[in-house]
Amino acid sequence: MAVDGNWEIVINSPMGAQKASLDIATNGTALTGTQQAAQGSGPLENGKVDGNAVSWSAKITSPMPLTLDFTGTVDGDKLSGSVKAGAFGSFPFSGNRV
């Protein structure tokens, strides 16, 4: 399932809904791109794709420096899964291709 393109996602965290924009490209099983959000923007790291399963890490700077680890599933123009925020636990996220 192709994941390449632009996505708008919402992370349902204890601090409320956190929006982010993704620009994703794949090359074989490698996933690369950028994530932009009010909490911090930068390149995706450790990105992988396996069929319709995807995973990547992204760093944020606000409210504190933290690496977010995403795992998700692509279903057409929908993307959903969970994001692990270090010691703060995991939260669901979902989004759509734009």
Q: What is the pLDDT of residue 1?
A: 57
Give me 69's structure tokens: 């680890």
What pTM was computed for the model?
A: 0.95
Rg (CA), the chain: 12
Whole-angstrom distance, CA of residue 15 vs CA of residue 79: 21
Q: How many C-beta atoms surround the C-beta of residue 79 within 10 A?
A: 23
Fold designation for 5-97: Lipocalin (2.40.128)
State which amino acid sits at residue 80: S
The pLDDT tens digits for 53-88 are 999 999 998 888 999 999 999 999 999 999 999 899
State which amino acid sits at residue 89: G
Q: What is the pLDDT of residue 63?
A: 84
The pLDDT tens digits for 18-45 are 999 999 999 999 999 999 999 889 999 9
Residue 8 DSSP symbol: E
